[in-house]
């Protein structure tokens, strides 16, 4: 199993095999390509674009797909996934990233906000024209976007997803079997402020490893301020390393944060003997390789 990171700074860090950089954010900020890295693009969540033109927001019977509309439990503001100019703008950006020497592109938030979206006049008309039902049409819309993005990407192509192994298609239009045809791997974010309770990480990592038809990498949050939380995170990485995963990615603020995790693991004698005692081979190899650097 590889160990990697997901970061907001365009800088690879020693000791990590897979370096993912957020090049387009949910708040609408867009950055130049990070060379030598996997560039992660937030697709339909764009608070800035919606502020500039509120008419592009996805809508449901209970209002717009905005964080401030508390009838929906949304973490971001969502653009309607069939808005032609917005789609073209994101696809152009993906194409521009691929003119640089990057490893590849990952898409995130490229789906519908939730089950009841989108019923704007354009989506209503497109649904009618398609002859498909609501679930089929929304899934086809998302899969087609993934296909169009893939056509512009040179190198590794991956997608994140809302980590729901049961209702992803019904809620978000994520037909993960259909999408599997276009991607090199799936990137499953299992974010949390801490992993002091971790059964859900273990369960979802197993579910996705067993059900997805392409290799799986799991992302855990590592922006941890305390030793107790770092310890729980590293033990959680060790547990999931026993499943069939290509990599675990650690979400960090920056390079210093990434190095801090390595140093903490290397210096933590209790943790290293715990890995030894319970035979966590994959994780022991990772910490041994960090010990040569940090
Ligand atoms: Zn719409």
Domain range holding 166? Answer: 2-293
Ligand 1 centre and the CA of 228: distance in Å?
45
Note the Cα 135 to chain centre separation in Å: 23
pLDDT tens series, the chain, 294 aa: 999 999 999 999 999 999 999 999 999 999 999 999 999 999 999 999 999 999 999 999 999 999 999 999 999 999 999 999 999 999 999 999 999 999 999 999 999 999 999 999 999 999 999 999 999 999 999 999 999 999 999 999 999 999 999 999 999 999 999 999 999 999 999 999 999 999 999 999 999 999 999 999 999 999 977 999 999 999 999 999 999 999 999 999 999 999 999 999 999 999 999 999 999 999 999 999 999 999
Task: With CA atoms as reference, report the closest residue to 80 among 159, 24, 141, 12.
Answer: 141
Q: What is the pLDDT of residue 225?
A: 79
Ligand 1 centre and the CA of 185: distance in Å?
28
- The angle formed by the CA atoms of residues 217, 218 and 224, to the nearest 5 degrees, is 140
Ligand 1 centre and the CA of 10: distance in Å?
33
Q: What is the pLDDT of residue 224?
A: 79
Provide the residues around ligand 1 (an ion) whose CB is within 5 A. 80, 118, 120, 123
Which 3-state string (H, E, C) describes the chain? CEEEEEECCCCCCCCCCEEEEEEECCCCCECCCCCCCEEEEECCECHHHHHHCHHHECEECCEECCCCCCCCCCCCCEECCCCHHHHHHHHHHHHHHCCCCCCEEEEECCCCCCCCCCCCHHHHHHHHHHCCCHHHHHHHHHHHHHHHHHHHCCCEEEEECCCCCCCHHHHHCCCHHHHHCCCCEEEEECCCCCCCCCHHHHHHHHHHHHHCCCCEEEEEECCCCCHHHHHHHHHHHHHHCCCCCCEEEEECCCHHHHHHHHHHHHHCHHHHHHHHHCCCHHHHHHHHHHHHHC
Residue 205, both tokens: 């990592």
Ligand 1 centre and the CA of 56: distance in Å?
8
Ligand 1 centre and the CA of 57: distance in Å?
8
Ligand 1 centre and the CA of 126: distance in Å?
9
Ligand 1 centre and the CA of 85: distance in Å?
13
Ligand 1 centre and the CA of 112: distance in Å?
9
Ligand 1 centre and the CA of 1: distance in Å?
40
CATH code of the domain covering residue 204: 3.20.20.80
Ligand 1 centre and the CA of 146: distance in Å?
17
Q: Helix crossing, 281-293 with 227-240: angle to 10°?
A: 130
Contacts of residue 210, defined as CB under 8 A and 6 or more positions apart, other chains included, come to 244
Ligand 1 centre and the CA of 124: distance in Å?
7
Ligand 1 centre and the CA of 153: distance in Å?
26
What is the rounded CA–CA span in Å between residue 103 and residue 37?
Answer: 5
Ligand 1 centre and the CA of 45: distance in Å?
14
Q: What is the pLDDT of residue 50?
A: 98
Ligand 1 centre and the CA of 18: distance in Å?
35
Give this prediction's pTM. Answer: 0.97
Q: What is the pLDDT of residue 122?
A: 98
Overall domain count for the chain: 1
Ligand 1 centre and the CA of 97: distance in Å?
27
Ligand 1 centre and the CA of 98: distance in Å?
28
Ligand 1 centre and the CA of 284: distance in Å?
48
């Amino acid at each position: 199993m590889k160990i990697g990171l997901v970061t907001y700074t365009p800088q690879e860090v020693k000791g990590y095999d897979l370096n993912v950089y957020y090049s387009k954010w949910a708040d609408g900020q867009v950055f130049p390509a990070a060379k030598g890295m996997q560039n992660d693009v937030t697709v339909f969540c764009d608070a800035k674009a919606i502020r500039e033109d509120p008419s592009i927001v996805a809508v449901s019977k209970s209002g717009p797909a905005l964080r401030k509309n508390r009838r929906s439990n949304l973490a971001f503001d969502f653009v309607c996934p069939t808005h032609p100019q917005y789609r073209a703008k994101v696809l152009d950006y993906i194409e521009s990233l691929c003119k640089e020497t990057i490893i590849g592109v990952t898409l995130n938030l490229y789906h519908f906000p939730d089950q009841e979206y989108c019923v704007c006049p354009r989506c209503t008309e497109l649904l009618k024209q398609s002859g498909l039902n609501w679930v089929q049409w929304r899934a086809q819309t998302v899969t087609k976007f993934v296909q169009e993005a893939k056509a512009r990407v040179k190198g590794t192509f991956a997608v994140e997803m809302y980590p729901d192994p049961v209702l992803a298609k019904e809620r978000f239009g994520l037909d993960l079997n259909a999408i599997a045809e276009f991607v090199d791997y799936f990137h499953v974010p299992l974010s949390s402020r801490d992993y002091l309770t971790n059964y859900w990480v273990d369960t979802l990592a197993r579910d996705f490893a067993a059900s997805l038809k392409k290799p799986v990498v799991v992302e855990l949050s590592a922006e941890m301020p305390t030793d107790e939380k770092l310890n729980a995170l590293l033990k959680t990485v060790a547990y999931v390393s026993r499943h069939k995963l290509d990599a675990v990615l650690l979400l960090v603020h920056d390079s210093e944060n990434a190095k801090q995790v390595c140093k903490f693991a290397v210096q933590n004698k209790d943790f290293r003997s715990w890995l030894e005692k319970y035979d966590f081979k994959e994780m022991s190899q990772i910490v041994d390789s960090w010990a040569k650097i940090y």
